[in-house]
């Protein structure tokens, strides 16, 4: 059997391998595009329904992403909203009943206060948003007051996420938990070493989802 004959025999199998590969990649790309369109353009208003619970909890809602979540993720009246941050928000701002617990997530003695504030609330949505980054990029060993810097960043970015699973009221067969991550947690980011290391809750989120799958509706990052 010469080379030309071998090539002719391989043409048909290689054609179908290529065709299936192209079809698979095309369908995968189409799926990703449609998923992005559904999430970022159409949204999913039905997800936040009164059936989830009367209260939503947003950590770090004073400003930035947390404040935007607090403004956008409101449950329909007369359902309520709950915020955790340093600055008080009022009923007049959001037209729903609002409860504020002002805490410093850099400390570890705040969670009994949070647990007491959550007791008795029917929580449907938890947004773990609170986080802190560098004031400016810096080499790891050149960070001022490095010991306290590390402790504070771990407490805010990691301990807060873990503690809220402990301090939530007893779980029900419904609810949504959103853990807000960062692109810096997806890849190593020099000069933001500690922040990059503490902003990847995807793996613990997946593991906790596996453990709590029987009574959590969604756990997303």
Q: Give the count of alpha carbons within 13 A of 73, CB side only.
A: 27
Handedness of CA 120, 219, 31, 74 (dihedral sign): positive
Best CATH choice for the domain 45-220 from the list 3.30.450.30, 2.30.30.30, 3.40.50.720, 3.40.190.10: 3.40.50.720
DSSP 181: -
Which H helix or E strand runs over 163?
A: helix 160-167
pLDDT digits (tens, 9 = 90+) for 7-25: 777 788 888 898 999 999 9
Residues 107-149 have pLDDT tens digits of 999 999 888 888 888 888 888 888 999 999 999 999 999 999 9
- Domain-by-domain residue ranges, the chain? 1-43, 45-220
Residues carrying an active site annotation: 195
Q: Is the pTM of this model over 0.75?
A: no
């Amino acid at each position: 059997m010469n080379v030309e004959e071998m090539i002719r025999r391989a043409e048909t199998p290689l054609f179908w391998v290529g065709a299936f590969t192209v079809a698979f990649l095309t369908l995968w790309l189409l799926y990703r595009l449609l998923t992005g369109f559904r999430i970022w353009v159409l949204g999913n208003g039905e997800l936040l329904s009164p059936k989830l619970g009367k209260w939503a909890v947003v950590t770090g809602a004073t400003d930035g992403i947390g404040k935007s979540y607090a403004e956008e993720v409101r449950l329909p009246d007369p359902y309520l909203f709950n915020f955790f941050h340093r600055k008080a928000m009022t009923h007049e701002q959001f037209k729903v009943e609002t409860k504020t617990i002002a805490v410093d997530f850099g400390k570890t003695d705040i969670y009994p206060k949070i647990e007491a504030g959550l007791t008795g609330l029917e929580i449907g949505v938890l947004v773990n948003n609170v986080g802190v980054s560098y004031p400016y990029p810096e080499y790891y060993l050149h960070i001022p007051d490095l010991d306290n810097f590390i402790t504070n960043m771990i407490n805010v970015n990691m301990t807060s996420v873990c503690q809220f699973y402990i301090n939530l009221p007893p779980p029900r067969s419904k609810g949504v938990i959103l853990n807000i991550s960062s692109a810096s947690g997806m890849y190593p980011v020099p000069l933001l070493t500690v922040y990059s290391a503490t902003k990847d809750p995807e793996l613990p989120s997946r593991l906790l989802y596996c453990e709590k799958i029987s009574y959590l509706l969604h756990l997303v990052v």
